[in-house]
């Protein structure tokens, strides 16, 4: 069971929503579409489902061309961010509704509904109405209705975005278990890198209608193929600074210089150095740490950590610092970076060297 997109694109009123895309999703895999709002996640899902027809390219399901096939004739189930249940029906009837439309006999409906409800931990609530359920239980009901169809392709478009933190955490743990039990191809859209890491499987990063990278989630995170992928797969986004390498020396935009050290194997030239917010420090983490002087613009306290927003010679950086720090705004701070956490990108954004710690992980 395979879903394959070959050169698929989407154009709406002359505007490109999805650039030509090749993507192959295999049976029994969790596939995360990760990108900011308007990056093309929902547009790509609608093409996969058959709700929209591509402007160009073909879509294959198990080697069969289904590009023009109606969504009703495909093995597809979709759950949206705004989950929908029928308020006048019981949970049982909500879950059973697609099977009744398909003409499945009553005994099989009962068995499949109870199996799906058990998978979603809804068995004690089958005779309740949706409005008698919590938000998380209502979303589980919508998921159960999708799963009961035994669809080969299940599309989840930011399904947890409207739930509170506790419910999101609960369902993030359950969804991988559910997908393993069903054996379907799951596609899960999210704007949150942390959610992609928690779900695992494969991740496709999207930016302005382009899939910038696709592969096993830990690999895409640790070895982003481009600066764009690195920005997408970091929250807050990865920080960057221009860098020149000449002989055994590094020169950074802003005037800081340092020995090349672990980056000495780089060819001489102009680069972008990238580093994630959690790798900035307010004290020197290692003897060969790189020091930068930056102006503190804003601080945000999260309870156990502090976000520091910095201005480094016109570039905005964000650092995620462990602990609570009361720092005066407008002050120039020394901040430190272990060079083993530095990603090196060419001027056109291509990855040249992943962080040493990332390749060792």
What is the predicted pLDDT for the residue at 279? 95
- Please state, in angstroms and rounded to a whole number, the distance separating the CA atoms of residues 59 and 47: 8
Q: What is the pLDDT of residues 79-113, one digit of tens each?
A: 887 777 899 999 999 999 989 988 999 999 999 99
Closest to 46 measured CA to CA, from 28, 63, 59: 59
Q: What is the pLDDT of residues 274-298, one digit of tens each?
A: 999 999 999 999 899 999 999 999 9
Calculate helix-pair angle for 135-147, 91-101, nearest 10 degrees: 20
Residues in a beta bridge with 32: 188, 203
- Asked if 152 contacts 75 with a C-beta cutoff of 8 angstroms, the reply is yes
- Burial class of residue 318 in the structure, from the number of CB atoms within 10 Å of its CB (0-12 exposed, 13-18 middle, 19+ buried): buried
- Please state, in angstroms and rounded to a whole number, the distance separating the CA atoms of residues 88 and 93: 9
Q: What is the pLDDT of residues 214-261, one digit of tens each?
A: 999 999 999 999 999 999 999 999 999 999 999 999 999 988 899 999
Average confidence (pLDDT) over 164-188: 78
Would strands 64-65 and 56-61 be described as parallel, antiparallel, or unpaired?
Answer: antiparallel
Which two structure tokens, joined as six digits, stand for 123? 């068995």
Model confidence at 329, pLDDT cuts 50, 70, 90, reads very high
Average confidence (pLDDT) over 49-77: 90
* Structural domains present in the chain: 2-231 (3.40.50.300), 237-360 (2.40.50.140)
Question: Considering the chain, what is the average pLDDT of its residues?
Answer: 91
- Please state, in angstroms and rounded to a whole number, the distance separating the CA atoms of residues 348 and 340: 22
Residue 350 has a CB neighbour count (10 Å cut-off) of 11
- Please state, in angstroms and rounded to a whole number, the distance separating the CA atoms of residues 25 and 7: 15
Residue 139 has a CB neighbour count (10 Å cut-off) of 23
- Please state, in angstroms and rounded to a whole number, the distance separating the CA atoms of residues 281 and 261: 19
Model confidence at 176, pLDDT cuts 50, 70, 90, reads confident
Q: Is the dihedral of CA 327, 329, 331, 336 positive or negative?
A: positive
Which two structure tokens, joined as six digits, stand for 353? 């060297």
* Complete DSSP assignment for 74-86: SSEEEE-SS----
Residue 182 has pLDDT above 80, yes or no: no
């Amino acid at each position: 069971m395979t879903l394959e997109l070959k050169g698929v694109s989407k154009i709406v009123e002359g505007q490109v929503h999805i650039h030509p895309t090749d993507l192959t999703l295999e049976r029994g895999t969790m596939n995360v579409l990760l990108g900011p709002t308007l990056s093309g996640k929902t547009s790509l899902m609608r093409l996969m489902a058959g709700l929209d027809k591509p402007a160009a390219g073909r879509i294959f399901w198990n080697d069969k061309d289904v590009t023009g096939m109606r969504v009703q004739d495909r093995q597809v189930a979709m759950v949206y961010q705004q989950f929908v249940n029928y308020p006048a029906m019981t949970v049982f009837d909500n879950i059973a509704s697609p099977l009744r439309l398909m003409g499945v006999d009553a005994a099989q409906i009962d068995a499949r509904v109870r199996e799906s409800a058990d998978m979603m931990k809804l068995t004690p609530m089958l005779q309740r109405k949706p409005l008698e359920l919590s938000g998380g239980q209502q979303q589980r009901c919508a998921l159960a209705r999708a799963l009961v169809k035994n669809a080969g392709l299940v599309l989840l478009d930011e399904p947890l975005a409207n739930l509170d933190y506790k419910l999101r955490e609960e369902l993030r743990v359950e969804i991988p278990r559910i997908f393993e039990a069903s054996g379907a191809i799951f596609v899960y859209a999210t704007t949150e890198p942390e959610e992609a890491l928690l779900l695992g499987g494969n991740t496709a990063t999207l930016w302005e209608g382009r899939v910038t990278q696709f592969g096993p989630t830990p690999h895409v995170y640790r070895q982003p193929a481009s600066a764009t992928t690195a920005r997408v797969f970091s929250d807050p986004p990865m920080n960057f600074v221009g860098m020149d390498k000449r002989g055994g020396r590094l020169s950074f935009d802003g005037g800081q210089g340092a020995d090349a050290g672990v980056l000495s194997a780089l060819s001489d030239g102009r680069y972008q150095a990238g580093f994630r917010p959690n790798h900035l420090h307010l004290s020197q983490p290692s003897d060969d740490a790189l020091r930068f002087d930056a102006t503190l613009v804003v601080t945000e306290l999260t309870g156990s950590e502090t976000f520091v927003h910095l201005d480094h010679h016109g570039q905005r950086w964000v650092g995620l610092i462990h602990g609570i720090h009361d720092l005066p705004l407008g002050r120039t701070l020394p901040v430190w970076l272990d060079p083993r956490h530095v990603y090196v990108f060419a001027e056109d954004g291509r990855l040249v060297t992943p962080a040493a710690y990332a390749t060792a992980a």
